[in-house]
Structure 1
Amino acid sequence: MIIRKATLDDLDDIANLERECFPVNEAATKDDFRERLKTYPNHFLLLFLEGKLVAFIDGFCTDDADLTDEMYENPNLHDESGDWQMIFGINTHPDYRMQGNASKLMDCFIIQAKQEKRLGVVLTCKKELLDYYSKFGFVDEGISESVHGGVVWNQMRLAFKGELGCNRY
């Protein structure tokens, strides 16, 4: 297993995996990923098994505490010194799910955010995944204002410091 940061050379593999994992109305496009990779490659981790990309996680940093739909669409909102690490997606190829691959990436992403002295990590997810993310210490903050892909999303937060006190590390 190899976990590493993404480069533009990974663009085709990333876009293909996204199409495997999300319906068209929710999936980022190849052009979306190109712009993300140009803007915040240090916040884009890939997991390879036997040379094949099987999972990835990405998101940018911002001082805004809540994840908004505009963030998905505008990578230029990234602020390398931002307080919060957002997660826009964690994708695992269907043939490699339920094997701990997403958890390994999530752990690496959380550790990286802590090392970078962020206040925490924020994501949105469907109701069915609330229990999964809570295992990492994320707290459900209720239904988000996001209407990305025409889906109902819950916002979850893992705060490293402060009143939420939900850090498991």
Structure 2
Amino acid sequence: MFIRHVKNTDLPELLAIEQAGFTPEQAATEAAFRNRITTIPDTFLIAEIRDQVAGFINGPVIETEFLSDDLFTKTQPNLPAGGFQSVLGLAVAPDHQHQGVATALLNALAQQAQTAQRKTVTLTCEKRLIPFYEAAGFHNEGISASDHGDTIWYNMVQLLNPIA
């Protein structure tokens, strides 16, 4: 497995993986992906296996500890310093699931965020995924204010650098 930054040519595979992993209400649109690819390519990572996109993780560096719904439709450029590394999307192609791809992507993004002196990695997940994220070093911070896709989400936070 090779982890790299996103390229414009990844878009068709990204859309297919996203649509396989999320409901239509939850899935990012093509416009949202295009915005993320051009706005935050440095925090949009791809897992590649045998020259195919096996999975991806993406999200901007934000000023707040938790995600808000507006982040899912319009991504702003990453903060130059500090902040919280968010995860708007983490998805793995069905034929590559349960092979460590998601964990490798989380670890790669966390390492990059740690190096950039981000305070935490922050994301939301459905209740069924809480054990996965806890095993990856995240703490459940309770139900999120987000109702993106008409779903109950939980705030999950991984501490990287002490919050001053």
Alignment TM class, shorter chain as reference: over 0.9
SS in 1 for 2:76: helix
- The CA distance in 1 between the partners of 2:97 and 2:10, in whole Å, is 21
Tell whether 2:139 aligns with 1:142. Answer: no
- The CA distance in 2 between the partners of 1:141 and 1:26, in whole Å, is 21
- The CA distance in 1 between the partners of 2:151 and 2:22, in whole Å, is 12
- The CA distance in 1 between the partners of 2:162 and 2:40, in whole Å, is 27
AA of the residue aligned to 1:124? T
For 1:6-45, what aligned pairs fall within 5 Å after superposition? 6-45=6-45
Aligned residue pair count: 163
AA of the residue aligned to 1:9? T
Structure 1 partner of 2:50: 50
Superposition deviation, residue 42 in structure 1: 0.4
Superposition deviation, residue 137 in structure 1: 1.5
- The CA distance in 1 between the partners of 2:105 and 2:45, in whole Å, is 7
- The CA distance in 2 between the partners of 1:82 and 1:144, in whole Å, is 22
Contact 1:66 1:122 in 2 (8 A): yes
Contact 1:60 1:85 in 2 (8 A): yes
Superposition deviation, residue 144 in structure 1: 0.3
AA of the residue aligned to 2:160? F
- Structure 1: 4+ residue segments shifted above 6 A: none
- The CA distance in 2 between the partners of 1:101 and 1:161, in whole Å, is 24
**For the structure 1 residues 76 and 161, does the alpha-carbon distance in structure 2 shift closer, same or farther, using more than 3 Å as the test?**
closer
For normalisation by structure 2, the TM-score amounts to 0.94
RMSD: 1.3
- The CA distance in 1 between the partners of 2:160 and 2:79, in whole Å, is 19
AA of the residue aligned to 1:111? Q
Gaps of at least 5 residues in structure 2 are none
AA of the residue aligned to 2:29? T
Gaps of at least 5 residues in structure 1 are 164-169
Q: Which protein, 1 or 2, shows the higher relative CO under an 8 Å CA cutoff with sep ≥ 6?
A: 2
- The CA distance in 2 between the partners of 1:115 and 1:156, in whole Å, is 20
Superposition deviation, residue 78 in structure 1: 3.9
